Amino acid sequence: MRPLKFLWQKWLIVARPIGNFQAQLILSLFYFIILAPVAILFKLFADPLNLKAKQRSNNFEKWEHPKEDLEQARKQY
């Protein structure tokens, strides 16, 4: 049993750098092949704040006065 434990410990010394390299390689490929193109497409076509929908010269919205009568005065609050 002792030789197997010795071999396992030596294998872990070799396997850890291989695993770290594999993880970095897989994550880098995922980023450059999948995530970056999707982010570029979203940047080009998405408008999450809906800024492009309204092309106004300013942010002023015309306010229309309600009828000024006794009934409206009672309903103001």
Is residue 61 scored above 80 in pLDDT?
no
Residue 29 is predicted with a pLDDT of: 95
pTM: 0.48
The CA-based diameter of the chain, rounded to the nearest angstrom, is 99
pLDDT band at 43 (very low <50, low <70, confident <90, very high): confident
| Half-sphere exposure for 54 (CA within 13 Å, toward CB) | 9
Q: If pLDDT is split at 50, 70 and 90, which confidence band does 8 have?
A: very high
- Token digits of residue 44: 């080009």
